[in-house]
Structure 1
């Protein structure tokens, strides 16, 4: 028997649940397909943005080390983009942790029980993920559009010479907006934020449906199950026979004028006529 951890039955963990037919073909749960599509968009866009930003800041860090190793008097300033890219990684990981977990739990344990405290935790984390990623999108956009890296401590000619000694200097131009991957990271970070905000709204709607509606299942699924139960109730011969038997009234004992117990039946008119004869 599979163990139960935190109220989650591990016996329900089946690889077949990762099938696309089970993910998107199952319409029994409230906003299931919409949540799965939007959650995955948020995860994908955020991962692409942080991956592009990581590649860009890695190039600038390597350029700084290369130039300062060749000429110790030179100093390369690119901490603004390194900081923005690092924060974008944190925001993307936070989004993946929250909505990746929401996706996983809704897929494996869609009818799990959650206390009020756990539901509040989901809501707070969803709002924090939206705020964190909005801050990341604004920071990355402003720095990419308006800032640039600088080489100080040497003459401009020497700075250009040192820059050309770095093999990837064309992939890491000093002006950030001239870096194609940096611009692409900005585009995907905004796509990611829109998806994260939509995911947060869906998370709230799902929890509200669980608290005030029919539970994790959709309204049409509940109606279909009620119809199915009523149909099975009427088609069950044993149950029907039991109801028919119970519907027949048991004979009642009455006392006649002579004090003799008589049976009181509900008889048809024909039977009553024969009796009178």
Structure 2
């Protein structure tokens, strides 16, 4: 298969999802990444999914009431806006830390330039700030705001409110809205934790590389054992001399030529 951006696509295989590979201790913070990244993504996806269901219900309610009572106008832009922003943040967190998850899973020893590392850090901080703003705004709107209707008064307004039914015009009484907010705060916690792990991992990689301290220590012990191990190369042959060790000296004493 092709090599794209220095990444060998042959490394993309199902066996990488085995627990022995995902939680291999030879890579620094491997287990923490595989768990925390996924919890951040799952929590945010749950929040945006439940929030999307609530958003759709309020939009359908508005369309129905305004079509039945043309003078009426339902004001729910606050919940529609924050639920839409929540969808954006859910996708952003899933994109950033989902990509980090798969890159670390398939190519833990990949080389990244300074610009790429900086982009990872900036993206992680950006989604943290965005998720925090999302959580605060969603909580305030859900707890303190509600839909309201204008354009009709008196008995007609009472009929409109009776026909509104579900979802509840008060956001705090909507179970889906409450669930979306709860999942969002959980997702924020894991998003911040994921950002911390990403920064800590890069700080370690720049000094020691992607392998854990345990793996590096094991490699050093192995190298030391190889150095101390006796050489298997046979010693050089011992030169063979004549039986008489004084042969050359005797010949020299007798002044005989030795050929």
Q: TM-score, normalised by structure 1?
A: 0.81
Q: How does 1:1-277 map to 2 (within 5 A)?
A: 2-24=1-23, 26-165=24-163, 169-170=165-166, 172-212=167-207, 214-231=208-225, 240-242=231-233, 245=235
Task: Kindly state the Cα deviation for residue 232 of structure 1 after the two structures are TM-superposed.
Answer: 5.1
Return closer, same or farther for 1:161/1:20 CA change in 2, 3 Å cut-off.
farther
Match of 1:267 in 2: none
Task: Kindly state the Cα deviation for residue 120 of structure 1 after the two structures are TM-superposed.
Answer: 0.5
Structure 1 runs of 4+ aligned residues shifted over 3 Å read 163-166, 229-235
Task: Kindly state the Cα deviation for residue 180 of structure 1 after the two structures are TM-superposed.
Answer: 1.0
1:67–1:163 Cα contact (<8 Å) kept: no
Task: Kindly state the Cα deviation for residue 234 of structure 1 after the two structures are TM-superposed.
Answer: 5.7
Structure 1 residues 107-153: Cα deviation after superposition (integer angstroms, max 9, x where no partner): 00000000111100100000001001001001100100111001111
Task: Kindly state the Cα deviation for residue 249 of structure 1 after the two structures are TM-superposed.
Answer: 11
Which structure has more relative contact order (CA 8 Å, sep 6+)? It is 2
Give distance in 2, aligned partners of 1:16 and 1:186.
36
Task: Kindly state the Cα deviation for residue 3 of structure 1 after the two structures are TM-superposed.
Answer: 1.6
Q: Which runs of 5+ in 2 are unaligned?
A: 240-248, 250-259
Matched residue of 1:151: which SS?
A: strand
Task: Kindly state the Cα deviation for residue 184 of structure 1 after the two structures are TM-superposed.
Answer: 1.1
